[in-house]
Structures are given as C-alpha cells and as structure tokens.
Amino acid sequence: MTEELRTEVPTRTLVEGLVRADGTVDAGELYEVAGALGMSDQQVRLCIKRMAADGLLVQEGRGRRAVLRETAEAQRVADPEVDFVRHMYAQDAGLAPWDGSWHLAAFAVPEPARQARDALRETLVRLGGAAVQGGVYACANAWEPYVEAEADRLGVRGRLTLLTSTDLRIGGESDPIALARRLWPLDELADGHRRLAAVARARLARLTAATSPGLPGRTERLAITVELAAEFTRATTLDPLLPPELLPRPWPGAEARALTADCWRLLLHAERSDPAPGPRLFHRYDEVVREITGAGGEAGGEAGRGAG
C-alpha cells in the first residue's frame, strides 16, 4: 500500500466503528484491531476514558476483558446518519431530484444562552447549511425535522424561524448553480471524495485479490471496515449533499460512494459467514447496500446534510 493511500483513523472512529448491534464493543477485539492499524494500547485507553467522560461509553470490566457499552447519547448522535447515507445514494441513483426549493433557518438566541446558540449553529452546518448572513442559514435539502429536533433539545425552538423559498438571491445573484459554488467549498469537497475513491479502490483490490481461503481474516476485515468508515466520514461530514443539479459535472462523490459500496458488499458477505458478531456498521448500512446493489427495494427519502 502506497503512502498516499494510508488512512489516518481517529481512535474514536475505531471505537465507534466496532460497536456491535447490541451497542457493545469487545475490548479485546478493539485492541487487536487497533494494533493492526498501528495504534498503541495507550491511545485506545485514553480514547475510552475521554468517551466515558463525555457520556458516550460505559466500561464494564478492565483491560482487554472489558466490555464497552454505548450510552443513549451516543445512540442519539449516530441514529440520523443512516438517513443521510441513504439520501446520498438516492441522489446518485437519480431518485431524489431537486425541486428547486431552498430551505432556510434563522435564529436569534440571546447572549446568556450562548452555548445553545453555538450548538444550534454547529448543527446547521453539520446538516448541510451555509451562512447567508448573520443568523441565517440555507440548505438545498429538506432539513426541518432535524433542525427542529435539535432546537427542541437545546430549548431554543421559540428562537428559530424556518422558511422555504424558490427565489434565493444573494448580492443580486440568483442562479442556483452559482449560489451553490458561492456558499459551499465545492473544490475542497471534491478533493475529499477523490481521496475516498482512491482509498476505497485500494481496499477493494485487497478484498477481491484474496485467494484461498477467501477474504482476509477477521482482524484485517475489521481494520478495512474502520479505515473505510474513517475516510467516508472525512469526505462526507461537511458535505451538504447538494442535489446533482447544483454540482459540477462530473462530480467525484458518486464514484467514491459506488466504490465504497462495493467494499461494503464484500465485507457484508464475509460477516454473514462469521459466527462472531460483527460491527453494527454492517447492520446499519446493510439495507442501504442492498438498495444500491439492486438486492432490495428503492432508495429514497429526504434528508438535510451529510454524515459522520
């Protein structure tokens, strides 16, 4: 593997990537995969402590025999991501055409509630919003349910205004494609997708080149899974999931996601024949992978931003 295709995996992504369907992580397996990725035991221990302090994990037992259990807060953060992933692939398949509507959110939260104000602003950006002016954000997708849920959680729903318009003008510019380029860093986003495509292509080659006894062993498969999750997250976290109608052609995101899906398909196949429980990632994205490989129903659904 060439140096430029090495993937830097945040330790937290490693932990989150190995959460099983029952919300637990086997610490022994966690340390084993960490070693395969070049991480030290100390890195893993520090990450577990930080996540526990942040209310995201509860540790039961000690050392490699411990079981890490995900909290409700961690589940709340992770749940919407499946919606966003499904929407990405629906767009790629032409199943989520843009209706020409801009979705806007405006808020005026007073200084005493600064923490809630900052959290709401961060949520709007994470959901694909771009600042139009102070306290006003625009998104090209229907994000209202996610914005309202976060405003409710933060206790600032009364300070939030939502509206939809087909006539957005900024400084006299009203062309949707020009507005998209003005509001979002498309060149930077494209570079991230190109890197994801390169990494996924390299991992796919490793998976398909394997001969007898078959696909790579469990630890290597889990390491590849985590690497893909890290690179996918890196490429899509700030991706506003703009409709294809607003993006330059060709847009590298579709190819990157298709290559990633090919990797997931092979990893899912191997996981189904493995008696040991696999990461929840397999189960969370199984439906999406089935949709995009033609093994399931239609992809669809509206979602605001992109995913973590």
Task: Give CA–CA dist 305/81, Å, rounded.
Answer: 9
Residues 273 and 190 grouped into a single domain: yes
Residues 199 and 274 grouped into a single domain: yes
Residue predicted with more confidence, 29 or 281: 29
- Which domain CATH number covers 24? 1.10.10.10
- Of 84, 34, 24, nearest to 280 by C-alpha is 24
35-56 burial code (b ≥16 CB/10 A, e <16): ebbebeeeebeebbeebeeeeb
Is residue 228 within 8 Å of 259, Cβ to Cβ? no
Residues 238 and 277 grouped into a single domain: yes
Q: Take residue 263 and report the two structure tokens written for it.
A: 């990797």
Work out the average pLDDT over 35-52: 96
Residues 132 and 189 grouped into a single domain: no
Residues 124 and 215 grouped into a single domain: no
- Given this model, what pLDDT does residue 121 score? 97
Q: Take residue 167 and report the two structure tokens written for it.
A: 């006539």
Query: Is 23 a domain residue?
Result: yes
Token pair 């509001």: residue: 183
Number of neighbours of residue 208 by Cβ within 10 angstroms: 11
Query: Is 180 a domain residue?
Result: no
Number of neighbours of residue 111 by Cβ within 10 angstroms: 6
Q: Take residue 86 and report the two structure tokens written for it.
A: 């499904």
Token pair 């394997």: residue: 210
Task: Give CA–CA dist 87/239, Å, rounded.
Answer: 12
Is residue 139 within 8 Å of 305, Cβ to Cβ? yes
Residue predicted with more confidence, 235 or 293: 235
Residues 61 and 84 grouped into a single domain: no
Give the tens place of pLDDT for each residue, 52-94. Answer: 999 999 999 998 999 999 999 888 777 657 888 989 999 998 9
Query: Is 304 a domain residue?
Result: no
- Of 3, 4, 11, nearest to 229 by C-alpha is 11
Is residue 90 within 8 Å of 301, Cβ to Cβ? yes
Is residue 57 within 8 Å of 68, Cβ to Cβ? yes
- Which domain CATH number covers 106? 3.30.70.240
Residues 59 and 191 grouped into a single domain: no
Across the chain, mean pLDDT equals 88
Work out the average pLDDT over 148-166: 97
Query: Is 122 a domain residue?
Result: yes
- Given this model, what pLDDT does residue 305 score? 54
Work out the average pLDDT over 227-249: 94
- Predicted confidence (pLDDT) at residue 195 exceeds the cutoff of 50: yes
Is residue 157 within 8 Å of 99, Cβ to Cβ? no
How many domains does one find in the chain? 3
Query: Is 308 a domain residue?
Result: no
Q: Take residue 164 and report the two structure tokens written for it.
A: 């939809």
Residues 189 and 49 grouped into a single domain: no
Residues 150 and 64 grouped into a single domain: no
Domain that holds residue 153: 102-165
Residues 86 and 119 grouped into a single domain: no
Last residue of a domain, one of 165, 195, 211: 165
Residues 50 and 9 grouped into a single domain: yes
Residues 217 and 283 grouped into a single domain: yes
- Predicted confidence (pLDDT) at residue 1 exceeds the cutoff of 50: no
Task: Give CA–CA dist 282/205, Å, rounded.
Answer: 20
Task: Give CA–CA dist 267/271, Å, rounded.
Answer: 6
- Predicted confidence (pLDDT) at residue 16 exceeds the cutoff of 60: yes
